[in-house]
Structure 1
Amino acid sequence: MTKAIKPWSALFALCLGFFMVMLDMTIVNTAVPSMVRELGTELTAVIWVTSVYLLAYAVPILPAGRLGDRLGPKRVFVAGLVVFTGASLWCGLSGGVETLIAARAVQGLGAALMTPQTTAFITHLFPPDERGPALGAWGSVAGVAMITGPVLGGVLVDRFGWEWIFFANVPIGLIALALTAIHVPDWRPGNSHRFDLLGILLFGAGLFGVVFGIQSGWTYGWECAGAGVLLLGCFVLWQRVNRREPLLPLRIFRDRGFSLGAATAVLVGFAMTGTLLVLAVYLQSVLGLSPTGAGLLTAPLALMSGAVAPFAGRLSDRANPKYPLMFGLFSLCGGLCVLSLVTIPASSPPALIPGLLLCGLGVGFIFSPMGNVTLNSVERSLVGSASGIFNTARQIGGVLGGAAAGLVLQARTSASIADRANEAAAGLPPEFRQRFVSGLAADVPALPPEIAGQARELASQVTHAALTDAVKVAFSLPVGTLILGLLCAAALRRSRVEPRPIGRNGSPDRMTAAP
């Protein structure tokens, strides 16, 4: 007797694992100062703790989608969940930054194995005209997890230490494993895919080169970014000439809806990651909030996003999904503009709440309509590849967004601090001005007590003002990308709802893959 499948129970199990994946993209941001201090390393090294996870996540997603088509999404999802949970334990036990970076790379690999299986299962478990609520729940998980990362991370870091942002994944992962074994069907599309090893190597090396070049070009030069772009160009060329089964089937981009949806996913990933990084720097380094305080201040964003995402999913079934998507992009862009306007060194934290609420409204309206309009556009035989490309697009945007935001913060702070120091030095006696500008407060002990105190205060003001200038400029990056996203969404056309063919048992065959 065949066991009855409960789609929503299966989706809950899948979303629990997906929640951990998305949570770990942002939860590390609040732990960065603690890691620098307790691991005895530099900020640049700790930034790689986030970057290597995003890279290891983005690169294998495409072949992971193929692997799910070949071996079965449940088996690949469970394997990824085991790898992710074990790597989380390894992260928490790491005694040095090098070990932590290695463990995060393995964790990213586990995340890559899981993610495309969740979207593929939605197309299998739910018919096209019922996918809106399911994608709404999935989108809610993605949005809420990314936003609650700073909140949960702040509490765990303050109460237990940075290690617990990783240890917390272990019990959740074990519960997700049990629920997946019980509720998720062992569906096998039956496709025997080839694996484009050369394509994987070109894509991975090219993306690493671009990200390393952007993130570390200030120190090591920009040649690596140029080499990465060249390798990515070779990757695209190889995909065109590979007649067997390329990693990236370019014919999938002939569909207008999928191409524009994937482009929007890149831009949204760029904006989200860049925004959260910039916001974390401003709240902790300028306003002086604790990790918990900074995380709790972003809670309205998470709550608003989680509240509206299911509604956005239902709305995307009844109306053209591009309109809820456009509304979400516009709201997120508007929220960032509001945040930029109130970003000053002495800003009151409650003044940020209206902008954060508007951002949360936007996030809630973005994910499910974007997934709906993108994945419903492709033919059934390409759903596995489409889900992998869609998720890869968002993660590539996230990797580039974090690297670009870090570069702008570093460059603008360095440029602004000199100007601000010259302005502040006017308040000191002439003989001490150049010394202050050259090293800020470094020479304070050699100054008379009354001048030293004033110099320390001025140095603090200069640092906060320079960081605020950098944050304002960095906010322009996600705003610009969201405007481009609005243009892409405006050009979308409503995808046709595909018919539901009848399977062998008389029920809708929701996912029939071509051989």
Structure 2
Amino acid sequence: MTEKAPGTQAQTPIPEKRAWWALSALSIGLFVTLLDQSLVAVSLPRIREELDASINQVVWVSAVYLLTFAVPLLITGRLGDRFGQRNVYLVGMAIFTLAALACSMAPTIEWLIFLRAVQGLGGSLINPQPLSIIHRIFARDRRGAATGIWSAVASSAGLFGPVIGGVVVGTVGWRWVFFLYVPLGLISLLMVARFVPRLPTGASRIDLLSGLVSLIAVLGVVFSLQQGPELGWTWWLWLILAGGLVALWLFIRLQRTATARGTDALVPLELFRHRNFALGITAVATLGFTVYSVNLPIMLYLQVGQGMPSELAGLMLVPMGVISVFMAPVIGRMTDRVEPGRISKIGFLSMIAAMTLFGVFMHLDLNPWWMLLPVVALGFANSMCWAPNSTISLRDLPADLVGAGSGVYNTSRQVGAVLGAAALGAVMQMGTQNLSFGAAMGNALLLPVVFLVIGLLAVSRFRSGTQSSSH
């Protein structure tokens, strides 16, 4: 395989057949890490009962995973550039799998929380690498198709997670939820080692000072937003948030002075001179804000507001997952052939329409079967937003910036998700004190429309070819 030096547009892709096998191996890892969120959520009531845990401890079983997953993403993306995306992925999957095995045998809730933190760190090492690899092993005009498959796998994890979790917990117990990761993790490790090539590394060294400051910045912002609604926004949480924002300002300063300090920037500011990347991270933050937080108000409305059984309420969301799974690969292939942003604009408009319909229907307290209309619209919107956005954002980055770009991209998505969960939680809590239950849930689902408009404006400015290289 002939390879160009780091910093050129792209190396010569590996044979396409091997690239698709590599994508299959990476997709197993994606499925496992995304399956975690819904599987463990289903397990929490049983975990609380068997380990005699408090509600706060059970909340931390999920919260600590999200923290250790989201906080290091800027660093783990850059580690892929420094040590090779394949190597960092293998280390991350090994940590994730071993931690899952240990979780399945955790004797106390304290041990389980600690092991979930380790598992989240493994997930953080895994998460930025596959997108970097995809954008380096596939030819430019095949990356949309590859990320379409990637998005379909992500959608299927969200669809099958609650179903698999319910069956496993109800039949063999919550410990088997964690043990389920072990064979899947081992399969991914073996396949990645076999099919994913060793790619040239870019960054010669990592700025440790910037890494430490980035951890403080993301931890301060994510922790305060994640715990604010639950802890009532006490004064010390505001202090943590302020500290995170100050650290963020210092981090940006450190990136500007990295060369003068004789080191490589953790997040090269050159990334933001690529127009589509800068617009894409804005758009993905608005997607994270919306998509990762809407299920809770929808489920609460159907079950509490309309008295629908939990099993039937869960089935109401199945069309969304099915449409996303089958449409994402098709949309991905189309992304390679049409003007950048055209599909994304349709996707964001569809998502805005879906969220507006949810809000209006809930305010009107309509028959819950009307909810199928926005559910279907949201399924189409998901397929038209995620894959095109990641493809267009990353495909024109130089090879030595793809790892850093993937880390920033994933961090933007996760911070958007945390902000969305906190904001929708606050709106729901305030609304139930003054409005009808349906109106309170409806207001929560109307809030993301404001952010989706920002995302729509961002993807409307995508450009093709050399136009995307600078603002």
- Equivalent residue number for residue 35 of structure 2: 23
Q: Aligned runs of 1:435-446 on 2, under 5 Å?
A: none
Distance, in Å, in 2 between the alignment partners of 1:154 and 1:354 is 26
Aligned to 2:239: 223
Name structure 2 gaps, 5 residues minimum.
3-13
Q: How many Å separate the matches in 1 of 2:149 and 2:463? A: 23
- 1: CA distance, partners of 2:186 / 2:258: 41
Q: Does 1:481 align with 2:451?
A: yes
In the alignment, residue 143 of structure 1 is paired with which amino acid?
S
- Give the match's secondary structure for 1:6: helix
1:310 aligns with 2:329: yes
Kept in 1: contact 2:150–2:387 (CA 8 A): yes
Aligned to 2:220: 209
Structure-1 residue corresponding to 2:105? 93
Partners of 2:82 and 2:205 within 8 A in 1: no
Query: For the structure 1 residues 136 and 258, does the alpha-carbon distance in structure 2 shift closer, same or farther, using more than 3 Å as the test?
Result: same
TM-score w.r.t. the length of structure 2 is 0.86
Distance 1:46 1:343 in 2: 30
How far is 1:347 from its partner?
A: 6.3
Q: Distance in 2 between matches of 1:261 and 1:294?
A: 33
Q: Tell me which residue corresponds to 2:369.
A: 350
CA offset at residue 260 of structure 1? Answer: 0.4
Residues 57 and 109 in structure 1, CA contact (< 8 A), matched pair in contact too:
yes
Q: Which residue identity is paired with 1:357?
A: V
Please give the per-residue CA displacement for 1:410-452, whole angstroms capped at 9, x wherever unaligned.
3433x33xxx7xxxxxxxxxxxxxxxxxxxxxxxxxxxxxxxx
User: 1:68, 1:384 within 8 Å by CA — same for their partners in 2?
Assistant: yes
Q: CA 1:339–1:290 in structure 2 vs 1: closer, same or farther (change >3 Å)?
A: same
CA displacement at 1:259 relative to structure 2:
0.2
Matched-pair contact (CA < 8 Å) for 1:135–1:372: yes
One-letter code of the match for 2:196?
Answer: V
CA contact (8 A) 2:221 2:240 kept: yes
User: Is the 1:315–1:321 contact (alpha carbons within 8 Å) kept by the matching residues of 2?
Assistant: no
Q: Aligned in 2, Cα 1:296/1:469: closer, same or farther, shift over 3 Å?
A: same
**Distance change in 2, residues 1:280/1:91 (3 Å):** farther
Q: What amino acid maps onto 1:475 in structure 2? A: L
Is the counterpart of residue 274 in structure 1 residue 293 in structure 2? yes
Contact 1:154 1:290 in 2 (8 A): no
The residue aligned with 1:194 is 205
SS of 1:318's partner is: coil
Query: Is this contact kept in 2: 1:62–1:392, CA < 8 A?
Result: yes
Shift of 1:65: 2.4
Alignment counterpart, residue 26 of structure 2, candidates 3, 7, 14: 14
CA separation of 1:199/1:307 partners in 2, compared to 1, >3 Å: closer, same or farther? same
**Structure 2 match to 1:124:** 136
Instruction: After TM superposition, list the pairs within 5 Å mapping 1:290-301 onto structure 2.
Output: 292-301=311-320
1:120-142 Cα deviation digits (max 9, x unpaired): 21122211012121111112222
Q: 8 Å contact 1:26–1:147 — kept in the other structure?
A: no
Q: Separation in 2 of the partners of 1:210 and 1:28?
A: 24
CA distance in 1, matches of 2:305, 2:168: 22
Distance 1:495 1:133, change over 3 A: same
Structure 1 residue 92, shift from structure 2 partner? 3.3
> How does the TM-score come out when normalised to structure 1?
0.79
- Alignment partner of 2:202: what SS? coil
CA contact (8 A) 1:239 1:248 kept: yes
Once structures 1 and 2 are overlaid, which stretch shifts more, 338-347 or 55-64? Answer: 338-347
| Identity of matched residues, % | 37
Residue of 385, 394, 406 corresponding to 2:413:
394
Whichever residue aligns with residue 224 of structure 1, its letter is I
Offset at residue 53 of structure 1 (A) = 2.1
Aligned with 2:127: secondary structure?
helix
Q: How many residues align?
A: 448
Question: What code does the residue aligned with 1:137 have?
Answer: I
Q: Does 1:242 align with 2:254?
A: no
Within 5 Å, give how 1:53-202 maps onto structure 2. Answer: 53-185=65-197, 187-202=198-213
Contact 1:26 1:276 in 2 (8 A): no
* Cα distance between partner residues in 2 of 1:212 and 1:308: 35
> Which one-letter code corresponds to 2:249 in the other structure?
G
Change (3 A) 1:354 1:132: same
Give the aligned partner of residue 412 of structure 1: 431
Contact 1:30 1:280 in 2 (8 A): no
Shift of 1:215: 3.5
1:470 to 433, 440, 446: 440
TM-superposition CA deviations, 1:464-496 (whole Å, max 9, x none) = x54x44322221232222121111111221245
For 1:168 and 1:262, locate their aligned partners in 2 and report how far apart those are by CA, in whole Å.
33
Distance 1:125 1:95, change over 3 A: same
Summarize the Cα distance change of 1:90–1:120 in structure 2 as closer, same or farther, 3 Å threshold.
Answer: same
Deviation readout 1:241-267 (Å, 9 max, x if unpaired):
222212111121111111000111111
Q: Which stretch shows the higher mean deviation, 36-45 or 243-252?
A: 36-45
Partners of 2:184 and 2:338 in 1: CA distance: 36
Shift of 1:309: 0.4
Greater shift in the superposed pair: 301-310 or 227-236: 227-236
Paired letter, 2:224: G
Q: Is the 8 A contact 2:51 2:108 kept in 1?
A: yes
Displacement after TM superposition at 1:354 (Å): 1.9
Higher alpha-carbon deviation: 282-291 or 202-211: 282-291
Tell me the equivalent position of 2:7.
Answer: none
How far does residue 324 in structure 1 lie from its aligned partner after superposition? 0.8
3-state SS of paired residue (2:336)? helix
Q: Deviations over 1:176-233 (max 9, x none)?
A: 2222233222x13133532222222222222222233234331533332222222222
Q: Distance in 2 between matches of 1:324 and 1:373?
A: 11
